[in-house]
A and B are shown apart, each in its own frame.
Chain A
Amino acid sequence: AQTVTQSQPEMSVQEAETVTLSCTYDTSESDYYLFWYKQPPSRQMILVIRQEAYKQQNATENRFSVNFQKAAKSFSLKISDSQLGDAAMYFCAYVRYQLIWGAGTKLIIKP
């Protein structure tokens, strides 16, 4: 069965610095999709970034980028120039036939 693991329950970073959130997954499939969602204190779920497994190029959205290592089954999220508004829970998700969620990483931004 597919699983998604976020090994860091909580991380903190100084404002304006860079932080990387880790996500690993287990699957025997070759075609699938990966997502990072952000959940700020308002509790709304917001899509951050989407990666298609058949694309080798890492997805990027402004200050957010991923390091997708297909062979290692790793999908980390890098946030550059961290801002106070980035403070949130971040969830990694895998989808092929089912959507599988990680447990989340709480990101704290220190001013």
Chain B
Amino acid sequence: DSGVTQTPKHLITATGQRVTLRCSPRSGDLSVYWYQQSLDQGLQFLIHYYNGEERAKGNILERFSAQQFPDLHSELNLSSLELGDSALYFCASSAAGTGFGNTIYFGEGSWLTVV
């Protein structure tokens, strides 16, 4: 158990809909990262938050948004869903920012299927 909690574990929704994925980082971790992994693909970095502030943005679509709350949990909002958004969405956390070389711990992921 990495200590990173993601909910829901599985989600099936229709095209055009909106979903919210939730992440609770490990206790004490200030950084939260979101990744997308499509079937048989590598990890696509979406966004990084540190202590409530956006630190880096990757290939995140405009239909997607995220935030990190004062209690450090984070939410990834996906809207106007398309079939191609079907993927495994990972949340990860680390003690500080990546520049400090802290190990990044991953949650089990949220499986999103868009039908």
* A interface residues with partner B (beta carbon < 8 Å): 32-33, 35, 37, 43-47, 50, 52, 91, 95-99, 101-104
CA gap between A29 and B109 in the complex, in Å:
32
Q: Give the residues in chain B near A91, CB-CB below 8 Å.
A: 42-43
B109/A52 in contact, CB under 8 A:
no
Q: How large is the interface on B (under 10, 10 to 19, 20 to 34, 35 or more residues)?
A: 10 to 19
A47 to B92, CA, bound (A): 12
Pair A99/B88 contact, Cβ less than 8 Å: no
Q: Is the CB of B43 within 8 A of A96?
A: no
Give the contacts of B94-111 with A (CB-CB under 8 A).
98-99, 101, 103-106, 108-109
In this complex, which of B56, B98, B101, B109 has the most chain A Cβ atoms within 10 angstroms of its Cβ?
B101
Interface residues of B (CB under 8 A from A): 33, 37, 42-43, 45, 56, 88, 90, 92, 98-99, 101, 103-106, 108-109
Q: Complex formed: what's the CA distance from A105 to B93 in Å?
A: 24
User: Which residues does chain B contribute within 8 Å of A104, judged by CB atoms?
Assistant: 42
Nearest CB of A to B19, in Å: 19
Interchain Cβ contacts under 8 Å between A and B, 13 examples: A32-B101, A37-B106, A43-B37, A45-B90, A45-B92, A47-B105, A52-B101, A95-B99, A96-B98, A97-B99, A98-B98, A99-B104, A101-B42
B88 to A43, Cβ gap below 8 A? yes
**Residue in chain A with minimal CB distance to B92:** A45
A102 neighbours in B (Cβ, 8 Å): 42
B106 engages A45 (CB within 8 Å): yes
By the criterion CB–CB under 8 Å, are A99 and B103 in contact? no
